[in-house]
Homo-oligomer: A and B are copies of this chain.
Amino acid sequence: MAVYVYKFGGTSIGSVERIQAVAEKVKLTHDQGDQVVVVVSAMSGETNRLTDLATQIQNKPVSREMDVLLSTGEQVTVALLSMALNELGCPACSYTGSQVRIETDSTHTKARIKRIDDAKIHADLNAGKVVVVAGFQGVDEHGNITTLGRGGSDTTAVALAAVLKADECHIYTDVDGVYTTDPRVEPKARRLDKITFEEMLEMSSLGSKILQIRSVEFAGKYNVALRVLSSFSEGRGTLITYEEPAVEQALISGIAFNKDEAKLTITGVPDIPGAASKILGPVADANIEVDMIIQNIADDATTDFTFTVHRNDFEAAKSILTGACKELGARAVTTDNSIVKISIVGVGMRSHAGIACKMFKALADEMINIKMISTSEIKISVVVEEKYLELAVRTLHAAFELDQELPEVAG
C-alpha cells in the first residue's frame, strides 16, 4: 500500500464535469488499495471573482479579511470534490486549512506553514477514506485564517506529503510534464522523465511556471518525490527527484527563458563600500523585484552596475535609479526594455567548463549578440535582444541535442 498526495489546480477542477473527472482519477488509486490525500485549489476564475469584489470595496483590502474572503474558494472545491467522490461510492471527507489543521505564521496573504497536525488525516485514511484538503490556506496560532499566496496549493500538497511521508506527491496541471524548453517556442521540445530539484528550481524561476518555487524548495528539503502530470491526459509526467544524475545523463536538462525583462545600468559609480546597497535599497523599498544583478570589476575609481527587472516595473525603477545616480555622483543611467533572458540549466554542467563556451559559440554562429551573462553552478543565463528569443532557444535546443531521446538509466 502506497500513500499519495495529489494536487489539482484551478483549471483541473474548473467545472462540475472536471471535478467529476478528478474524482474518477482519485477513485482508481483508492480502488487499488492505496491511500490518497487530495489537495485542491479554487475553481478557475473564482479567485479573480472574489478579488474583484474586494477591490470594488477597498483599493488595498485589509489583508486579514482578504484571507477570509479568498479561502472560501478552496472550501467550495473541497466540498464539491468530496461529494463527487462519495457519489462514486468512494468514501471521502473534506478539510479546510483550519480544520486539518495547517498552522502558519500570521503573515496574511503570504503566510508560511509552521506545523501540520495530521491526526485527522491519518484517522480518515486508516478508515478507508480519501481525504480532500483545501490548498493555499492555513490558520495562525490565534485562529485567524491565512493564505500562502498564489500557487500556495502546491506548497500545501508538498507539505502534506512531507508530513505523511507520502510515496509520491503528484502535481496535476495542464501540461503533461517538464519539457526541455517551451514547446510553443521549440516544437522539438521533449518531455523529461526526470529532473533534479535543483534544475527544477532554476527552470521554475526562469519562466517555466509549472510549480511554485517555494513548493519545490520544500520538496527538496523534505525529500518528497514530486511528479508533474497532466490532469487532462494519461502519461507518467516528470519525476522531480533529489537523486544525483547518472553519469550518462545529458549535461543540460533544459532551456528556460524570461520574456518581459528590462535592463538598467548605472555607469561611473564611485567604487566605495555601500554603493550597491544605496542603488538597490530604494528599489527594494519600492517592492520591485530584481532578477539578475551584475557589477563588473572596478575600472579606475568607478564601476558599472546593471540589473534586470520585470518590464512592468521598468519606469518606476528607472526613476529611482535616476535619483540614485545624482546622489552617488555617478555618470549616467542607461536602460533597455526590450530584452529577454535565456538560460541553460543542468546539474550535469557542474564540472564541465566547456558548456558556457559551447553556448556562446552557438549564439554567435547565429549572429546573436549577448548583452549580459550571469552564471550559477547549474545554470548559465544570457540577456539578448527580445527579437532573438525564438531563434536563440531553438539554436541552443539543437546545439545541446535536447531533442534526442536518452537511453533509460537506472535511478
Contact = CB atoms under 8 A, between A and B. Distances in A.
Interface of A: 16, 19-20, 50, 53-54, 56-58, 61-62, 64-66, 68-69, 71-72, 75-76, 78-80, 82-84, 86-87, 93-94, 96, 98-99, 120, 143-145
Contacts of A84: 57-58
A63 to B, nearest CB: 10
A94 B72 CA distance: 14
Contacts of A53: 16, 76, 80
A56 to B, nearest CB: 5
A75 B54 CA distance: 13
Contact of A57 (B16, B56, B68): B16
Given A57-B83, A64-B93, A72-B76, 13 more contacts: A16-B57, A20-B57, A53-B76, A54-B80, A57-B80, A58-B86, A66-B79, A69-B80, A72-B72, A75-B75, A96-B145, A98-B98, A99-B145
A53 B80 CA distance: 8
Which 3 residue pairs of A and B lie closest in terms of their CB atoms, listed nearest first?
A69-B79, A72-B72, A68-B79
A24 to B, nearest CB: 12
A58 B79 contact: no
A93 B144 CA distance: 10
30 contacts: A16-B57, A19-B57, A20-B57, A50-B76, A54-B80, A54-B83, A57-B80, A57-B84, A58-B83, A58-B84, A58-B87, A62-B82, A62-B86, A64-B93, A64-B94, A65-B82, A65-B86, A65-B94, A66-B83, A68-B78, A68-B79, A68-B94, A69-B75, A69-B76, A69-B80, A69-B83, A72-B72, A72-B76, A75-B75, A99-B143
Contacts of A56: 16
A231 to B, nearest CB: 18
A101 B58 CA distance: 27
A378 B84 CA distance: 49
How many of these chains are in the complex? 2
A65 B50 contact: no
Contacts of A20: 57
Contacts of A120: 143
A75 B53 CA distance: 13
A242 to B, nearest CB: 35
Nearest to A82: B65
Contacts of A78: 68
Contact of A75 (B66, B72, B87): B72
Nearest to A142: B120
**Of A54, A61, A65, A76, most B-chain CB atoms within 10 Å:** A65
**Of A61, A79, A84, A94, most B-chain CB atoms within 10 Å:** A79
Contacts of A83: 54, 57-58, 61-62, 65-66, 69
A261 B87 CA distance: 35
Contacts of A50: 76
A65 to B, nearest CB: 4
A152 to B, nearest CB: 18
Nearest to A66: B79
**Of A50, A76, A94, most B-chain CB atoms within 10 Å:** A76
A57 B61 CA distance: 34
Nearest to A54: B83
A143 B143 CA distance: 13
Nearest to A98: B98
A98 to B, nearest CB: 7
Contacts of A65: 79-80, 82-83, 86, 94
